[in-house]
Structure 1
Amino acid sequence: MSQIALRRSRRQLSAGTARWPAASLLAAALLITLMAAATATLLSGVAVSGQLVDPGALVRWGLPLINALVHLAAMVTLGGLTLCAVVLQPGQPPWQRAAKLSAVAAIAWTLAQAVHLVLVHASIMGSGIGGPGYPALVVQFISGIDLGATLAWAVVLSAVTAALAVMSTTSAGACWAAVAAGAALVPRAGLGHASSAGDHEVTVSALWLHLVGISLWAGALAVLVFAMLGTRDYLGPVVSRFSRIAGWAVVMVVLSGAASAWIRLESPWQLLTTTWGRLLTVKLLAFTALAAAGWWHRRSTIPLVAATGRPNWPFWRLAAVEVLIMAAVVGVSVALGSSSPPIPQARITEGADLAGLPAPWFAGLVTQWSLDPLFLLLAGAGAWVYLSWAMRLRRRGDAWPAVRMVCWLLGMALLVWTTSGGVGVYGRVLFSAHMMQHMMLLSMLPIFIVLGSPLTLALRALPRRQDGTSGPRELLLAVLHARWAQFFAHPVVAALHVPISMAVFYLTPLFELAMRSHVLHVLMMVHFFLVGYLFTNMVIGTDPGPQRPFFPLRLALLLPSMVFHTFFGLFLLSSTSPLGGAFFTGMDLPWTDPVTDQQVGGAVSWAMGELPALVLAMIVATRWTAHDERAQRKRGHTVRLDSMGA
């Protein structure tokens, strides 16, 4: 017993002493971030005193440095919470250390975000901080200017994230806190260097993906080093799980970074001839080094760690180098965000720019594209993951119907066209095109998604975890069994949610707000797709989830949606004043007027609401007939067995 106790005490001592180099690594990362931000800011000339208004050296130098701190704290928060949610085992020392570091980073994020708001206000006003009536000026900045309101939302959402992170004691709690952290990055995406000008819708999505990807990659790696250094147990599975997350994060960073650079640069030579381009070049070189280190991790050190189950010092050294390089990248990114890109103006964002495009009901719906990185990544990842799951079943001898795969792939293609194709481009300025996009997401796309049976495939293909952690399969089952999910999937709730959501959205100021805000517009699209999915899954789905009613009741539950679309379409056809306030009337398009276009949108709503309902009714009737035939054959088989027994 004494030898066992001695070994245990030595292990605890080594773990305790290992935390010191881990903490030193984080401190060094913070110092490198601030130094890189200061150096890049100095070289870019951002901190040079203005000729007309000058808020002072404190604001000029403090703004990029506090911005770097905001980025770093956000990365550590989201990365650490993700580790606690799906990688580390609750109750173990690494999970506790990661949770504590994430909570501290979330609090620092909130405080730094509040200071950032004050510094931005001072920079815009061109005056120092404080003085008579200063609090009233800040309140006016928040309540009367969009930039101030966005910064205030960033403070509120980061504070919510901090509260959830502090209260998190389980994987589920960490998962909800990670979701809040992702939402808190949305205001940051709206203020970034790429989103401040051209193609605002595309660049906001790209920058949000960029921030999330960097957090899941570098932020999670920093927390992993801090939490696992000196721990000899369960290092192999932890590193393997993190490697899969980091792989997807790299894809997010590369795709979003390429989209932002494509919009901001006129030619590749501007990477060398402009200040913004040179900073971007430094960032690209650093990312290349990081990607090379990650590739070496995946190829050499991770298989070694997974095979031995013991800490591998080459892995830790390489991980520490990655953390320090990423810290320098964050500092360069801050200066990049403060500099002016070569193309500061929008290419296609306003209605006047769309006025010269072809008529939307002809070639324009096919030829006009504005790729949204967010939905493009969702569709690509959805197709890749679905096919990999199906191939996994086939490799182990299980079959998966090809018809379901075809339906799913058609759904992913329809998602790309609906969000990035002509209907998405014209949906920014035309009510009719917007209504087509809306009905695609609500009525057409869910049919293909439901027929693909993704939840059934996931539950069959995803492995179970036996060590108490929550993987994708466990999270999916938790959502399916949650009371709130069962409530929204209830047949009556799902049937009534469609007309109620449309009435509330289109007959209130929410419609105009969603058309003026890209973030609200994305939330609107996600909401109506989920509403349509829940309703369609209740009617024709085979995935686990809701308790589906009998076939006659399913047909009856189609009536509320059909009746509403009929009345709503007639309402739009007979309307003489446009919906959406002054949004559509301010477009001044030469080939249509808002009232006529809205009437066309009424016909679109009517047709695209009734036709999918008819398709659903035909599918229900076909399955009802097949079900009765199977029941009749079963009864006949039972009667024959009874007669043979008699």
Structure 2
Amino acid sequence: MSPTFLRLTGPTILILAAIIAAAIALMIGGGADPRFTNDPGALVRWGLPFAKLFVNLFGAVMAGALVLALFGLATGTKPFNIALDVASTGAAVLTVASGTVAFLTFLSSFNPEVSLGSEFGAQLGRFLLDTELGRAWLITTVLASAVTVLTFAVRGYGAVLITALLALISLVPMATQGHSGELANHDAAVMSLVLHVVSAAVWLGGLTLLAVVRPVVPQSALEDLLRRYSTLALVAFIIVAVSGYARALTALGRWEDLATPYGLILLAKIIALLATGILGALYRGRLIAKAGSGRGMFWVFVCIELAFLGIASGAAAALARTAAPSETAPLAKTTAAEILTEAPVPPNLTIERWFTAWSPDLLWVFVAAFGVFFYIAGVQRLRREQQRWPVRRTVYWISAMGLLFWTTSGPIAVYGTYLISMRLLSLVLLSLVIPLLLVSAAPLTLAIAAIRPREDETRGIREWVLKAADSPIARVTTGPVFAATLFAGSLWLVHYTDLLRWSLYDQLGYQWLLTHLLLTGCLLVAAFFRPNQSTPQLSRPWLLSTLIAVTLVSALFAINIITRSDLMVSEWFGAMGRTWGRTPLQDQAVGGAIALSIGGTLAALTVVVVIRWKHSNPHANTLVSQRKDIHA
């Protein structure tokens, strides 16, 4: 068989299986049936789900190809260039498909009279710019077009990394609009769907790229590429399975709902995904070493896996147009709190609720779980190689992951929506306490020691970490002045601009805030309080002055909150209608007192630094360094 035929076989099977599955599921679930009196017509009703299907498939091809290229292929080689071409093709089709979805969604929602006149154009423009649904598809279209251009223009690792991040980001807006109707727990549905879409894209897109590049990958490198993809696929499968289960919980209220059309389509999708995962686990371990010839049962199984993924993709496209059982009888929203948060106000925050109030945030559940797993795996590898790793660092890491999980999924997360004090307690933990534990655990040092270096020209986690640590961006961001300025400035910027409001109204804004606080805190701690630092950056007087300045600014921030006479985001926190606890303004003052602990902790750490100076080498003129071997 010709190389071109071999490259096209897998993608063809994927697309055909997806189209057939979507058509059958639409007929079963009635996703293409007329729903409104002003029906837009069969072309719109059938065209919209199939356009979304192509969005899902080619968005995955775009993102998955870029991720696997960065993790498994070497720049300048033919397979790497083919991967960029595949990603570019996926991005181009995604651009057209997402633009088509935007147009058909407009027709489906408003059923206007299509014309070339200015009135129709103005209506379409208002839909794209003034509605959340229209903006989401417009953003996806614009980002996909940017990725299409970039994949033609770039070839180096750094530029491709930026392009891959842009490709993954382009999947987020459509994921936030990927469920139909209103679900009982909107935030959980959005987060689970975002994780589901992104991880499925890496899984499906990477497998598609494997099928395309296998005729041109040297036999000596094929086994390594397959093992690297298998690692990505395993992580992606776990995330897809857990996030899919969480999504199903928000859509199905009872076991009996599995017998509904939505439930039947969902079951078909679950069975296809499970079959794919089990198939991959069974045959990769036995057949990867025999795949070098490019023929045989291994690649037959790859095509079967693509067929199952196509069935799952087709079912997913139909589910987006099928009403879930939990949407048939939405809860009436009678209070401002229920309108704003889509949930009733929780009961009084008693001591018992500190241990029983939970609202798992899937993103941070995965971060904590994978963080503990891979850290312990690294420690175990070092022990097998007769290398020592301090037990205290493992304790620091597990404590940090546990505290991160509790902060993002426990009572602080549950009540942070209603109490400013809980928001500010989260600020203290994420920006200072957890970073102190993380930096003390030295995870990057462990990664460099435990992960085996690659002998080819590709980049794995170890190579990416070393490259990032030696980059100009790292030298700037880990500098004491930059880290202190970013930390202190973020306290004021987040809480005295619309960023705090964004984090309350938008789930993506909330996730951004948590990530931002964690990163700025880690940069500050790594810049000032990391042990065993050697290379001079600033003299001791400048370091001490910077520390004192960031401490005073943090304390001033807290005092300003305590003494404020107006309520932050008053239309939110003032509208909760709580019948228990302090008034919102009193609670805000309590939150300011909690935030004051940031300044107190920094002051105590400054004293520790000064004491350390007194016991250090008198000829040393600094405590802060920029080490290439990374100790944070």
Question: Structure 2-normalised TM-score?
Answer: 0.92
Which secondary structure state, in structure 1, belongs to the residue aligned with residue 572 of structure 2? coil
In structure 2, the CA distance between the partners of 1:342 and 1:286, relative to structure 1 (3 Å rule), is same
* CA offset digits 1:548-605 (Å, max 9, x no partner): 6456654433222321222222211221211125222222222243222211111111
The amino acid of 2:57's aligned partner reads L
In 2, Cα distance between the equivalents of 1:457 and 1:349? 46
Q: What amino acid does structure 2 have at the position aligned with 1:217?
A: W
Matches for 1:607-626 after TM superposition, within 5 Å: 607=597, 609-621=598-610, 623-626=612-615
Q: Provide the rounded CA distance (Å) in 2 between the counterparts of 1:326 and 1:544.
A: 49
Structure 1 CA distance for aligned equivalents of residues 8 and 123 of structure 2: 40
Among 474, 485, 489, the alignment partner of 2:478 is 489
Identity level (%): 27
Q: Does 1:342 align with 2:325?
A: yes
Q: Which amino acid aligns with 1:274?
A: T
The Cα of 1:162 is off from its aligned counterpart by: 2.4
Hey, what does 1:333 align to over in structure 2?
Answer: 316
**Residue of structure 2 in register with 1:6 after alignment:** none
- The aligned runs of 1:247-266 (5 Å cut-off) are 247-266=234-253
Q: Assess, with a 3 A threshold, how the Cα gap between structure 1 residues 361 and 476 changes in structure 2: closer, same or farther.
A: farther
From 17, 22, 34, the counterpart of 1:32: 17
Alignment of 1:53-92 (within 5 A): 53-92=38-77
Q: 1 CA distance for matches of 2:3 and 2:425?
A: 59
For the residues of structure 1 that align with 2:531 and 2:374, how far apart are their CA atoms?
A: 20
SS at match of 2:255: coil
**Which residue in 2 is equivalent to 1:533?**
522
Distance 1:125 1:38, change over 3 A: same
Deviations 1:19-59 (A, max 9, x none): 21321331332232222212211221121123412111111
How far residue 131 of structure 1 moved from its aligned partner, in angstroms, is: 5.2
Q: How does 1:436-451 map to 2 (within 5 A)?
A: 436-451=425-440
Q: Which one of 253, 257, 270 corresponds to residue 270 of structure 1?
A: 257
Q: CA deviation at 1:167?
A: 2.1
Instruction: Name the counterpart of 2:213.
Output: 227
Deviations 1:318-372 (A, max 9, x none): 0011112211211111111111212234799766776653333633333211001
Q: Residue 454 of structure 2: SS of its match in structure 1?
A: coil
5+ residue gaps, structure 2, are: 621-632
Shifted more, 238-247 versus 221-230: the winner is 221-230
SS of 1:197's equivalent in the other structure is coil
Report the equivalent of 1:594. Answer: 584
- Does residue 605 in structure 1 map to residue 595 in structure 2? yes
Contact 1:161 1:184 in 2 (8 A): no
Query: How far apart, CA to CA, are the structure 2 residues paired with 1:546 and 1:166?
Result: 41
Who wins on radius of gyration, i.e. which is larger? 1
2:627 aligns with none
User: 1:109 is matched with which residue: 63, 87, 94?
Assistant: 94
Q: Is the 8 A contact 1:276 1:341 kept in 2?
A: yes
1:166 aligns with 2:152: yes
Structure 1 CA distance, aligned partners of 2:27 and 2:385?
Answer: 59
Measured against aligned partners, the alpha-carbon deviations of 1:495-519 in whole angstroms (never above 9, x if no partner) come to 1111211212211222212211110
Residues 1:120 and 1:437: Cα distance change in structure 2 (over 3 Å): same
* 8 A Cα contact 2:181 2:323, kept in partner: no
Q: Which amino acid aligns with 1:98?
A: A
Q: How far 1:97 sits from its partner (Å)? A: 1.6
Does structure 1 residue 430 correspond to structure 2 residue 415? no
Query: Which structure is richer in relative contact order (CA contacts within 8 A, separation 6 or more)?
Result: 2
**Is the CA contact 1:194–1:203 (under 8 Å) kept in the aligned structure 2?**
no
Query: 1:354/1:600 Cα in 2 relative to 1: closer, same or farther (>3 Å)?
Result: farther
| CA RMSD between the two structures | 2.4
- Distance in 1 (CA, whole Å) between partners of 2:252 and 2:532 is 46
Question: What amino acid is aligned across from residue 36 of structure 1 in structure 2?
Answer: A
Q: Tell whether the 8 Å contact from 1:161 to 1:181 is kept in structure 2 after alignment.
A: yes
Letter in 1 for 2:467: A
Summarize the Cα distance change of 1:129–1:478 in structure 2 as closer, same or farther, 3 Å threshold.
Answer: farther
Is 1:460 aligned to 2:449, yes or no?
A: yes
Tell me how far 1:252 sits from its aligned partner: 0.9
The range that moved more, 189-198 or 583-592, is 189-198
- Name the residue aligned to 2:6: 21
Amino acid at match of 2:596: W
Change (3 A) 1:310 1:622: farther
How many residues align? The count is: 611
In structure 2, relative to structure 1, the CA distance for the partners of 1:200 and 1:332 (3 Å cut) is same
Quote the residue 1:241 is aligned against: 228
Worse-superposed segment, 208-217 or 546-555: 546-555
Tell me the distance in 1 between the aligned counterparts of 2:535 and 2:262.
53
| Counterpart selection for 2:141 from 116, 135, 155 | 155
| Pair 1:316–1:352, CA change in 2 (3 A) | closer
- Between the aligned partners of 1:167 and 1:255, the Cα distance in structure 2 is 37
With over 3 angstroms needed to count, the CA separation of the structure-2 counterparts of 1:107 and 1:546, relative to structure 1, is farther
Shift of 1:547: 5.6
Following the alignment from structure 1 to structure 2, what is the Cα–Cα distance between the partners of residues 274 and 615? Answer: 61
Find 1:389's aligned residue among 345, 361, 378. 378
| Change in CA separation of 1:34 and 1:546 when aligned onto 2, cut-off 3 Å | farther
Check 1:321–1:546 CA distance in 2 against 1; reply closer, same or farther (3 A cut).
farther
- Contact kept? 1:59, 1:122, Cα under 8 Å: yes
Deviations 1:76-122 (A, max 9, x none): 11111012111012222222222111111111111211111111111
CA contact (8 A) 1:86 1:469 kept: yes
SS at match of 1:358: coil
User: In the TM superposition, what whole-angstrom CA distance separates every residue of 1:404-459 from its partner, at most 9, and x where no partner exists?
Assistant: 10001100001101111110111112211111112211111100001001111111
Show the counterpart of 1:215: 201
* Cα distance in 2 between the residues matched to 1:59 and 1:545: 65
Q: Please state if 1:127 is matched with 2:116.
A: no
Structure 1 pair 247/561, CA: closer, same or farther in 2 (3 Å)?
same
How far residue 168 of structure 1 moved from its aligned partner, in angstroms, is 2.6
495-504 or 357-366, which moves further after superposition? 357-366
2:551/2:602 contact within 8 Å kept:
yes
Structure 1 contact 276–342 (Cα < 8 Å) conserved: yes
Describe the SS at the equivalent of 1:49.
coil
Question: Residue 352 of structure 2: SS of its match in structure 1?
Answer: helix
Whichever residue aligns with residue 244 of structure 1, its letter is T
SS at match of 1:82: helix
Structure 2 CA distance for partners of 1:577 and 1:238, relative to 1, 3 Å: same
> Matched residues in 2 for 1:544 and 1:327: separation?
52
Separation of aligned partners in 1, 2:592 and 2:206: 48
In structure 2, the CA distance between the partners of 1:50 and 1:546, relative to structure 1 (3 Å rule), is farther
- Structure 1 residues 64 and 422: alpha-carbon distance in aligned structure 2, compared to 1, 3 A threshold: same
Moved more, 374-383 or 579-588: 579-588
Shift of 1:75: 0.7
- 1:263-295: CA deviation from partner (whole Å, max 9, x where unpaired): 222223322x21111111101111121012111
* Residue pair 2:61, 2:209 contacting (<8 A) in 1 also: yes
Q: CA deviation at 1:468?
A: 0.6
Q: Decide which moves more: 554-563 or 317-326.
A: 554-563
